[in-house]
Structures are given as C-alpha cells and as structure tokens.
Amino acid sequence: MYIKSSDIKPMFDNVLVKPLEEEAKTPSGILLPDTAKEKPQVGIIMAIGPGATTDDGKKIPMQVKVGQKVVYKKWGGNEIRVGQEEWLLVEQKDILAIIS
C-alpha cells in the first residue's frame, strides 16, 4: 500500500517525523558503510495530532509545530512507510528538543 504524507493525520499527541539522514563520513573524512551508521535522532515534523486530553477532560496543547526540526528519543515511536521512505510516528513526550 502506498501512503502519501498528506494522507496521514496523527491522533491525540502523536507526531509524524521524517528522520534526517546522518552524515556518511566521520569528521576526519572516513566514509562509513550503512551498517556502521547510527539510527538518526533528528528529523522534521511533517504532521501533528490535535493534542492529548487528561482524565478530567482538560486539553493538553501541542508544544511542537509542523516544519520544526527536532531531536527525538533514539528507540521511541513506530516506523511507518511513507512513499519509499521510513518515517516515525512518535508521542510528543518522545521529542526531546526543538532545534532552532
């Protein structure tokens, strides 16, 4: 099944993140094979949910916006295929920082 990013509408406080590829070589210029690369932790927010709701019905607003570059937890979220790429669907709490 082919899914376009515009077809994905995250629920609750979920965030759709497109991981950014890591540099393929070290600072000294050594090229790294794919097996030696680390899993990326930086990405661009492509879509956000409307926010979570507490047990007493109070809405918790989203702290992130579409288009922001973020750092997220290394092992959090669920991988989904968007077109030919692997993106992540993570909870807002799994986003550690916004990069300005």
Assign residue 41 the CATH number of its domain: 2.30.33.40
Residue 28 lies in a domain: no
Length of the chain: 100
Say if residues 5 and 82 touch (Cβ distance below 8 Å): yes
More confident residue, 9 or 38: 9
**Single-letter amino acid code for the residue at 10:** P
* pLDDT score, position 47: 96
Helices (H), 49-89: none
- Residue 26, both tokens: 């070290």
> Global pTM?
0.81
Is it the case that residue 34 has pLDDT exceeding 90? no
* pLDDT score, position 68: 98
Q: Is 14 helix (H, G, I), strand (E, B) or coil?
A: strand
Distance from C-alpha of 67 to C-alpha of 41, rounded to nearest angstrom: 16
Is it the case that residue 35 has pLDDT exceeding 80? no
The range of the structural domain enclosing residue 87 comes to 5-22+33-99
